[in-house]
Amino acid sequence: MLEFLDVVEFFVQAAKNFQKGVLNLCSPLEEIVLKSAGSNLAYIDNRRDALKKYGFDFWEELKNELGEQEFDRLLRCSDIAKRLLYSKSEQFPDFMFKAREIRGRFICGSLLELKDSESGSVASFNSTIPTRFKNLEDVDVANGKTLVSRIASLIDRKQPEGEYYKFERRCFYLVRTHRCKPNRVKVSVVEGSFFETVPKDHLIHQVFLQILRNHMRKRQLTIPPDILRQVDEVLSHITDQTIIASSRIIEGASIRPRLRIMAEVHSEGNPHSPHYPQIVESTFNLILKSTPETLLLEERLLREVPGLKMFTIQHKRNGEHIVFQLRPHSRY
């Protein structure tokens, strides 16, 4: 069973919507997701605009299934205030797909984050470091609160704990560059492996180690190698983004300093950059790490989406990736 069947289904439906002219490559990314995957979503961060702008009621299916009284009871049990039902929570991720349980094992439940840019660069990551996998525990740590996991577990009708809470979910990024230029726009559903070429914990550790070394060079300081190795060992434990981002109370200080980790994509990690000329303009792409599982998708996707083509690209830092590419003939 394909672990990320949810994203494949979303890609297929979005491709069909582009071909039919229901959507085009310059449509709002939120609209692309809602019109292509709406009924299969367990979390939407901007539930307000989903309803007001696109007429999508995130809670409608659950309300109809349970009835008003039972729905209200479940909200209270999940500690979800009614004012949050149609709000913009400003949490990670933008979207989460529903989880599926197969023979006692969870699959799907993928996370989808939107990255929209007027230039050829991928928009910065302001809240989390992009990775290939995250579980709900990671999501709660990144957000510093449990709202996302509580909403997702309510929609999925699962207990917000145990295996449901800990199973590894794929992270995908809906990336668009040159969004206002129909002849240059590129839209891709990108697996997190394209961005995570170094494990997150090691990445954070190396950031602080580089800061130390830069200060040593600037001040012409010398630290004995054995002491530096000890410092390196200590810094290797600084990996929790929630702790790093927390406000600090410093004795005598009238401000509370806080650090915020942001991430910018190197050009070699940007699938829309000149490093990957096969990702051409005016196309919609699905970009996946090459594995035996993803190779099996070729027959299915080429059958379901006429005009789709498949090829591989060599990531400059992370091996072979498979690309399914569509050039829709949509009106802008």
Q: 299 near 283, Cβ under 8 Å?
A: no
Q: What angle do CA 173, 174, 179 make, to 5 degrees?
A: 135
Interval 95-110: pLDDT, tens: 999 999 998 899 999 9
Point out which residues pair with 286 in neighbouring strands: 189, 324
Closest C-alpha among 108, 113, 269, 114 to residue 203: 269
Can you count the helices (H) and strands (E) in the chain? 13, 11
Q: Alpha-carbon distance 149 to 3, whole Å?
A: 20
**pLDDT tens profile 139-192:** 998 888 999 999 999 999 998 888 999 999 999 999 999 998 989 999 999 999
Q: What is the pLDDT of residue 144?
A: 82
pLDDT at 332 over 50: no
Structure tokens, 163: 């295996």
pLDDT in tens, 235-252: 888 877 667 767 788 888
Question: What's the predicted TM-score (pTM) here?
Answer: 0.90
Q: What DSSP string runs through 51-119?
A: HHTT---TTHHHHHHH-HHHHHHHHHHTT--GGGTTSB---S-SEEEPEEEETTEEEE--EEEEEE-SS
Confidence label for 92 from pLDDT (cuts 50, 70 and 90): very high
Segment 254-277, tens digit of pLDDT: 988 877 777 888 889 999 999 999
Judged by average pLDDT, the poorest of 52-61, 68-77, 132-141, 260-269 is 260-269
Token look-up 């290939």 returns 132
CA distance 58 to 249: 39
Secondary structure (H, E, C), 267-309: HHHCCCCCCCCCCCCCEEEEEEECCHHHHCHHHHHHHHCCCCE
Statement: residue 330 has pLDDT above 70: no
- Nearest-10 crossing angle of helices 225-235, 200-219: 140
Q: Which of 308, 298, 300 shows the shortest CA–CA distance to 328?
A: 308
